[in-house]
């Protein structure tokens, strides 16, 4: 193989691998209707389970939460005693869901900003 051809084949292989890689696909999209006429759209994504420092498993999923005004948040699944909890890296935006219900806490004091949200069927 010529010295000029080898780098080209390497680049072609990388390009083919990148083309084959696909963005994650949401396994579920849920529309929530909340108190005060507010609404959310939440796309749920699966991910590999992680282990907490104390040995407990933590789901590796994440959500993309979209508010009615179009603002989006990507939140990672975190530890929860009950239900499923997703939070921003700095914990200033938290989305909780359990069954068909959900709520959102925001800001340094984690004020509930979306209350009594119910999944729309």
pLDDT for position 72: 97
> Per the structure block, which two tokens stand in for 73?
């948040």
For 4-43, b/e burial (b = at least 16 CB within 10 A) is: eeeeeeeeeeeeeeeeeeeeeeeeeebebebeeebebebb
CA atoms within 13 A on the CB side of 25: 3
What's residue 23's pLDDT?
64
Mean pLDDT by 10 residues, the chain (121 residues): 42 41 74 98 90 82 94 91 88 95 95 97 84
Instruction: Say what the pTM is.
Output: 0.73
pLDDT of residue 93: 96
Residue 44 near residue 29, CB atoms below 8 Å: yes
Q: Answer for the pair 75, 66: CB distance below 8 angstroms, yes or no.
A: no
Torsion sign, CA atoms 54, 76, 113, 121: negative
Residue 52 has what pLDDT?
80
In the chain, what are the domains?
A: 23-119 (2.40.128.200)
């Amino acid at each position: 193989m010529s010295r000029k051809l080898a780098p080209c084949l390497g680049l072609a292989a990388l390009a083919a691998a990148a083309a084959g890689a696909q963005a994650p696909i949401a396994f579920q999209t849920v529309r929530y209707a909340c108190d005060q006429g507010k609404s959310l759209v939440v796309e749920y994504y699966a991910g590999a389970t992680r282990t907490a420092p104390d040995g407990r498993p933590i789901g590796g999923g994440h959500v993309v939460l979209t508010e009615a005004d179009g603002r989006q948040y990507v939140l990672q699944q975190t530890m929860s005693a009950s239900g499923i909890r997703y939070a921003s890296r700095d914990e200033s935006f938290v989305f909780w869901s359990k069954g068909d219900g959900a709520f959102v806490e925001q800001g340094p004091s984690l004020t509930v900003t979306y209350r009594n949200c119910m999944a729309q069927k």
